[in-house]
Each structure stands twice: as C-alpha cells, then as structure tokens.
Amino acid sequence: MPRGKRRSAADMGPADDDRHCSKRRHTTSSSRRHSKSEDLSSFSQKRCISWFREYTSPDDPDTLGPEGMEKFCEDIGVEPENVVMLVLAWKMNARQMGFFTLQEWTKGLTDLHCDSNTKVQNKLEYLKSFLHEPSTFKSIYRYAYDFARDKDQRSMDMETARAMLQLLLGRQWSLYGQFNNFLEQSKYKVINKDQWCNILEFSRSIHSDLSNYDVDGAWPVMLDEFVEWLKASKEQNSAKGS
C-alpha cells in the first residue's frame, strides 16, 4: 500500500512543534492499532445479531434460509458443501440443513466469539480441528444424521446419505469407494440411524482386507451384505486377472 507524501520543510513549523506533531501522530497511530486489536478480540452480541439480519428477509427476520446461506458461505469464502460448514452447524446445534435460526446462530457464534465474516474465517482451521479428534468426530458424525435427514421421515434417503458419507468418510475410510458402489447397486433406498452409526464403527474397526471381520458379529445386515458383495467382487476380479 503506497504511503502518504511527506510534507516539505517549508510546510513544517519550528523544531519543537515538529517533535510535538510527530509524537501526536505516533500516539494516534498507536491508538488506532490498539482499537483495531480490541475490535478483533472483542465480541458484541448486538453486532452478531445485526450481522445475522444481513442474511434474512423482512418477512422472516429470525431465520437464515438457503439464499442467505449461500451469501454467508460466499462472504466467508467457503463452499456450502465444505465439511467445515457441517462443523459450524454442529457448533450451533442447528436443526435443519440449509437453515440457521437466530437462536442457533447466536448460540454458536457467541461460543466461537465471532460477530463478523473475518472472525469466522479466522476460526475455520479451529473448526476443522474438531474432525481430527475421534470422540468429537463421532459426535459430529451422529449429529449429521438428524441434521441432514428429511424431518418428515425417520430414515435418511440414500442420495443424502451417500453425499454425507462422502463428506465425512470419503477421505479417511479406505473402503469408502467400494461401499459407495455397493450402496449404489443395492436394494436400499434409505439408511436408518442404527445403520448410520454402525457404518462409522465398521470403518474404524474393520481392516481394509476384512481379516478381522467376524461373520457372527452383531453388524447390521447391510454391512454383512457389503462384506459378501466385496468378497464376491474381489473373487470376480481375481478370476478376470488369471
């Protein structure tokens, strides 16, 4: 950023006045830096609520809907499909995907000490860090089921389930690709909560070569069928290769 031009000696007063002016400028500059620092570290619930209203309509000022969500994501520089948005929703304990109520917004962002786009951007890495702690990840994973499912249905439709599994397990479960293919070809149209929770446990405890899979284990039928499907696929590929 270009600096302001210096005044010439002809524009300046006596030496003592110059020192006084210089000191005053230094003090003013320090005060501005201090004020800026306070602004970044302080939190105002009033400012937080005012910021929320930027994304809502006069018809429903206490609900941030899909259009507002898209604008919010744009302002903080995050794609709506980014997993960090799920973590943020979890922090807010948001009830429905694509919506934040004023109460949810205030709860989550007060906890995060955020009342501006910049402050949320500065918290993104912190939010992502929750995904690396196993017990917290499990909490987020379980939360995702009720958050993403249609509230008129007890189970989650398969399209939504596959999208959420991709978001949560796509990068960390070595068998995710095969499991996704299995779901695509299977008879299942929905996933219930028991199946959802067990998919995570299966991904964490069963080796990618299935060597520690117990046929007499208490896994849901869906996962037993996945194992059978995977073994059959491997045998079929081996037969083709020989």
Q: Per the structure block, which two tokens stand in for 230?
A: 């995977």
CA distances for 100 relative to 9, 63, 71, 113, 168, angstroms: 59, 6, 13, 17, 21
**Considering the domain 45-130, what is its CATH architecture?**
Orthogonal Bundle (1.10)
H or E stretch covering 178 = helix 176-185
Predicted confidence at residue 41, as pLDDT, reads 62
> From the first residue on, what is the mean pLDDT of each consecutive set of 10 residues in the chain (242 residues)?
37 44 42 41 91 96 97 97 97 97 97 96 97 97 96 94 97 96 96 98 96 92 96 81 59
Which distant-in-sequence residues (6+ apart) come within 8 Å of 120 by Cβ?
76, 88, 109, 112, 114
Fold match, 45-130 / 134-241: yes
CA angle 198, 228, 165 (to 5 degrees): 35
Domain boundaries, given as residue ranges, for the chain: 45-130, 134-241
Q: Report yes or no: 39 and 22 within 8 Å, Cβ to Cβ.
A: no
Q: How many CB atoms lie within 10 A of CB 21?
A: 13
Predicted confidence at residue 217, as pLDDT, reads 87
Predicted confidence at residue 241, as pLDDT, reads 63
φ/ψ of 108, rounded to 5, equals -65, -45
CA distances for 203 relative to 27, 173, 206, 219, angstroms: 59, 6, 6, 12
**Fold of the CATH domain 134-241:** Recoverin; domain 1 (1.10.238)
Predicted confidence at residue 39, as pLDDT, reads 52
Predicted confidence at residue 242, as pLDDT, reads 55
Angle (deg, nearest 10), helices 134-148 and 193-205: 150
